[in-house]
Every structure is written in structure tokens, then in C-alpha cells.
Structure 1
Amino acid sequence: MALLLLVVLLTAGVSLNDAEDSFRKLPDIYKKGVELALHQINEHDDIQNHFLFFKAIHQAEIKAGFGVTYIYHNFYLKATTCQRGTENADTTTCAFRNDRPLIDCVICYKASAGEIGGKTYLNCMNRRALSKDIKREREIGCYQAGFGSLTPTPVAHTGS
């Protein structure tokens, strides 16, 4: 029994370290998007537990020129044992809860000079509730946040 408990504790420690390492490895501009999502979810009145970054799912960026980059980031947040509003929370002070579903987030935004600017699209929801319709809504939200302006268009050429 003690051996089983030790294995469970070691496994939990590995996932905590993996989440922290995963966040640390993100480029700074992606971290800012995750921090924006965490701020939004941890300020929500219906949320009981404090959430932390758990895992990046998909990242994409489009270089638009003049130092402007459009960012798409899909990631998971996970509930911790700490109450909502916990200051300076991290995985050493607030362990992840395995009895709560993951929160699947998509954030799309324009970054310039290392800062988030312009219209931002953020959608976070219980991963179990994610449907094809919601994925489509996310695509539309990202499109409206500026990705739509990046679609290729023919350029008229009037020879000399």
C-alpha cells in the first residue's frame, strides 16, 4: 500500500514539473496570452478553484511584417487545490486536482514589439463540452480578431 502511494505521489510530481517546464519553454509572447486567459478565468465569479497552465496543444503564428505577428494558441488549464484568488500560486503551492476536467482555451491576438495589441479573441471551456460547432465558432472568432485580414488576395498588376 505504501509503495502504491509513493508511485502516485511521484507521478503527480512529474506532471507538476512537466506543466511548469512546458510553461517556461513557451516564448514570452505566448506566456502573455496564457497569463491573460488565467487572469480572466481566475477572476470569474463561478470559478471555485485557482487554475494554472497545464499543457500547450497547438501554437501557430503568422508574421505580417513590420514586427507584427498574429498568434493562435490552444492550451489546457487545470484546476488546483487552491481557492480562486490565491496570490502567487504555482504548482509547488497549489497541486493540480485530478477530479476536475481540463479547461480547453484558444486565444488569438496580434503581437507587436512583444506586446498584445488590437482585438483579442479568447474562448475557454470545459474540454468535455467542446463540439464541432464550438470549434467552428473559435475559427470565426480568430478570423474576426485579425486573422481574416491575412488571407491572400490577388494584387492587380498594371505593367509599365
Structure 2
Amino acid sequence: MKMAAGLLLLVCAGAVLYSARAQDAYHGLPDDYKKGVDLALEQLDTHAGVHHHFRFLRSLAKSDIESGFGVKYFYHHFYLKPTKCAKGTTVSTPQTCPFRNDRPLIDCAVCYKTAQEQIESNPKPYIHCIQRPRLTEQMRITRTEHCNKMNYNSGAPTLLASGTNRQ
């Protein structure tokens, strides 16, 4: 009996630590990358087929290029995870909603330009989010090409081939 109680305590502690680490993942992002995550979350919130809040889970790839005069280009590939909080419910902060484990992750790629630390509307920020099982190789290629073209058209080096890719 003591062993079962000890094992249960260990599992509960692990779940709490995992949840806290996921909350810290968003808070640990640099502000410029949080802006891209926020764009993706706003897009999901406005989609009629989405019924729950999502939270940032983790980054898969990040890169940025500074092109001078306070202008930067960002690329961020990350996962969002559904929560148990229904869309439309008032929550003080979505980061407090517990994750659900019965739905697939959302795979997102965003790229955008900032000037003086504000997202620019030209070129229009690119946001592509899809359930992970539905993501195809062609979609990955299209994402990469779109983000590279965004930077190439402005005279900036290619974001994804710049060597500044970091986690």
C-alpha cells in the first residue's frame, strides 16, 4: 500500500512539474517570438472549428535576421497543445488552463517582419497551423518557401538558411 501511494505521489509530482515547465516555456520565450505565438493563437481563436483554448508547448526551430535600422525577420516553428478550457470562457490567463491529452498537437510555423519591435503589416505575417497528423511534406516545403521568399523579396538573407537557427 505504501509503495502504491509513493508511486501515485511520484506520478502527480511529475505531472505538476511537466505542466509548470510548459507554462514556463511561453514565459521563457523572447518577446519577439511571443508575438508570433500570439498571432497563431489569435488565428486559432477566430477559427469556427476550434472549440478550446490552446497553449504554447515548445519551440522546434527559431531564427531571426537583423537587416538594419531596427528591422528584423523572424521564423518560429512550434507546437500548440489543446487545453480543457472551452473557447469563449473567461479565463484570467490561458496559461492556467490544463492541457488535454486526447487531441493532437497543432504544428505552427510563423514568419514576420518587425520594425522597432512591432510586427509590420507589409509583408503580411505568415501563419500556418495544422493538426500534426495532417501536416504533409508538401506543406512543410510551402512554409519554407514562403518564409524564404518573404525575406528574399526584401533583400534580407534567407531566414532558414542563415545559420542562426536556434532552439
TM-score scaled by structure 1?
A: 0.85
Once residues 85 and 41 of structure 1 are traced to their aligned partners in structure 2, the CA distance between those partners, rounded to angstroms, is 12
Where in structure 2 are there 5+ consecutive unaligned residues?
159-167
Where in structure 1 are there 5+ consecutive unaligned residues?
153-160
Name which one, 1 or 2, has greater alpha-carbon Rg.
1
Once residues 98 and 6 of structure 1 are traced to their aligned partners in structure 2, the CA distance between those partners, rounded to angstroms, is 20
Contact conserved, 2:53 with 2:94, CA < 8 A, in 1?
Answer: no
Once residues 145 and 78 of structure 2 are traced to their aligned partners in structure 1, the CA distance between those partners, rounded to angstroms, is 18
Measured against aligned partners, the alpha-carbon deviations of 1:65-100 in whole angstroms (never above 9, x if no partner) come to: 1110000001110000100123333343x1001111
Residue identity (%): 42
How is 1:11-160 mapped onto 2 (pairs within 5 angstroms)?
11-87=14-90, 88-92=92-96, 94-117=97-120, 118=122, 119-144=124-149, 146-149=150-153, 150-151=156-157
Deviation at residue 132 of structure 1 after TM alignment: 1.2
Distance 1:61 1:48, change over 3 A: same
Give the aligned partner of residue 157 of structure 1. Answer: none
Measured against aligned partners, the alpha-carbon deviations of 1:125-147 in whole angstroms (never above 9, x if no partner) come to: 11122221110110122134x22
Deviation at residue 2 of structure 1 after TM alignment: 4.3
Measured against aligned partners, the alpha-carbon deviations of 1:17-59 in whole angstroms (never above 9, x if no partner) come to: 1112111111111111111111110221101111111111110
Contact conserved, 2:59 with 2:77, CA < 8 A, in 1?
Answer: yes
TM-score scaled by structure 2?
A: 0.82
1:8 aligns with 2:17: no
Match for 2:94: what amino acid? D
Match for 2:53: what amino acid? H
- Answer with 72-81 or 22-31: which moved more: 22-31
- Tell me which of the two structures has the higher relative contact order, counting C-alpha pairs closer than 8 angstroms and 6 or more residues apart: 2
Once residues 40 and 46 of structure 1 are traced to their aligned partners in structure 2, the CA distance between those partners, rounded to angstroms, is 11
Residues paired across the two proteins, number: 150
Match for 1:64: what amino acid? S
Contact conserved, 2:36 with 2:110, CA < 8 A, in 1?
Answer: yes
